[in-house]
Amino acid sequence: MEHSISFIDRKATASQQHALPAGAEWRVDSIAALFELPFNDLLFRAQQVHRANFDANTVQLSTLLSIKTGGCEEDCGYCPQSAHHDTGLKADKLMALDDVLAAAQAAKDHGATRFCMGAAWRSPKERHLEPVIEMVRGVKALGLETCVTLGMLEAEQAQRLADAGLDYYNHNLDSAPEFYDKIITTRTYQDRLDTLGHVRDAGLHVCCGGIVGMGESRLERAGLIAQLANLDPYPESVPINNLVQVEGTPLAGTEPLDPFEFVRTIAVARITMPKSMVRLSAGREQMDEALQSLCFLAGANSIFYGDRLLTTANPQAAKDRALLERLGMRSDA
């Protein structure tokens, strides 16, 4: 069923105006039509949806720690951690439990409410999983929400993580299916969907988004949003990454995405996934404060908070707090 993009009876609530009928799916052409709206109309619509589902002035703060960096078997064209690319990044072993817990406590002390741990693996082996489970238990005991991203999971692995108290599992789709083989050849799109299925079956919350600015078309960006929005249910957490170009990766030198197109992507994600936490993720270091503010207006209500992401810089915590204060916004802590 095609979703109308015209203005609807203003007597209806914002939730009623923009809800997709039960059982219907978002069509790629309908999402593409959202991208084509005049910028102000698109942001107005996204803000209506946002306010119908969230406090418009609250932002959720997550901190991301790379617990195992580099040496990944995958050939993702954007990733400096791939063993296929010469980026000068040194591969490290899995961090010690005490070091991870110290980082988690520091994140909590600075106001983060969710602690995300990422390991550069194609998929975790048994010798990897048990130490990560101990990290999950330890971070959970500090009173933080927990999230990990470890690559592909089998059903039994997802269940073990759930049994340990994990709250969220991150596994991004990265792109639309039609663009996928231009950036990755070592893992199929179905592999990603299978992992998401195992995560859902284990009762875990899903954190799943993508990367824009990799040379994809607007229609392919719409295709990515359609894949995310049509997951059943759609992800509770949707990180939107703007490509960080790293020398030595195949995507270094790609034409940067227009900043307003990035804001449009945030707005479309908000409209199509009204109850998700839409997170400003990689690439925020390259955004000035005005652009970040537009993203909040478009419906972003979560950020990665701290000095680094997995291997790239992130705006410092004090700078983030100052921006939120200037905007009259607050964290969910």
List, by residue number, the catalytic residues.
72, 76, 79, 116, 147, 207, 279
Burial string for 76-112 (b: 16+ CB within 10 Å, else e) reads bbbbbbbeebebebeeeebbebeebbebbbebbebbb
Q: Is 301 within 8 Å of 277 (Cβ atoms)?
A: yes
DSSP letter (8 states) at residue 257: P
Classify 7 as helix, strand or coil. Answer: coil
Residues in the chain: 333
Q: Which residues contact 93 (CB under 8 A, 6 or more apart)?
A: 68
Q: What is the CA radius of gyration of the chain?
A: 19
Q: Which residues contact 170 (CB under 8 A, 6 or more apart)?
A: 116, 118, 147, 148, 149, 207, 208, 237, 239
Token pair for 177: 């299916």
CB count in 10 Å sphere of residue 258: 10
Handedness of CA 298, 302, 307, 313 (dihedral sign): negative
Backbone angles phi, psi at 303, to 5 degrees: -140, 155
Angstrom distance (rounded) from CA 121 to CA 114: 22
- For the chain, the distance separating the N- and C-terminal CA atoms, rounded to the nearest angstrom, is 40
Classify 114 as helix, strand or coil. Answer: strand
